[in-house]
Amino acid sequence: MTSYPADLQKVINFHGHLCPGVLIGYRASLIALRQLGTSRSVDEELVATVYTSSCAADAVQVMTGCTFGKGNLIFRDLGKHVFLFSKRGESQSLRIALRYGVLDREAAKTLLDMPDDMLYKIDRLEVEPPPPARIYPIIQCSICGEGVMEPRARMKEGKLVCLECAEN
């Protein structure tokens, strides 16, 4: 049986299996935590933006403590293995992008051992992290009766409705 670092094993347990995507998010998160001089986010002090819906996003969530519920895990569906990490209160962020073609050349185990700079393009950027998560009032959709966060509600025929009902 293969032995993995304890933090990687937590990611594997959460995700359900080991795969290249898990290793991509795991390694990117390790780099970010190290280079930003921080540890796993307990509250909202660290913000992670993932540009992919791949398995890597699960690893980022487990490793950084950033979650949708806390408002510090942001998803931008650009279909790229790119990750932006920011610390609240600081203007410098870290952008980590998987180098093109590396998945064509490397097996999953090699991804774990490959030097950071061969695996990723890493840039420091002057980017303000988004503001802390806001808690919005919940209103009732006039059509389906379900609750919806007020800023997500739309007007349809003079009534406040959820996005689903606004589109129908």
pLDDT tens, 74-98? 999 889 999 999 999 898 899 999 9
User: What's the pTM?
Assistant: 0.79
Half-sphere exposure in the Cβ direction for 95 (13 Å, CA): 14
Q: Are residues 119 and 159 in the same domain?
A: no
Structure tokens at 74: 């942001």
Confirm whether 162 is domain-assigned: yes
| pLDDT, tens digit, 9 for 90 and up, residues 21-31 | 999 999 999 99
Question: Residue 129: what pLDDT?
Answer: 81
Amino acid at position 31, single letter: I
Confirm whether 131 is domain-assigned: no
Angle at the Cα of 45 from the Cα atoms of 36 and 34, rounded to 5 degrees: 20
Q: Are residues 88 and 142 in the same domain?
A: no
Number of domains in the chain: 2
Confirm whether 1 is domain-assigned: no
**Which range marks the domain in which residue 113 is found?**
6-126
Torsion of CA 23, 15, 149, 166, to 10 degrees: 90
Model confidence at 107: pLDDT above 70:
no
CA proximity to 99, closest of 24, 11, 23, 36: 24
pLDDT band at 101 (very low <50, low <70, confident <90, very high): confident
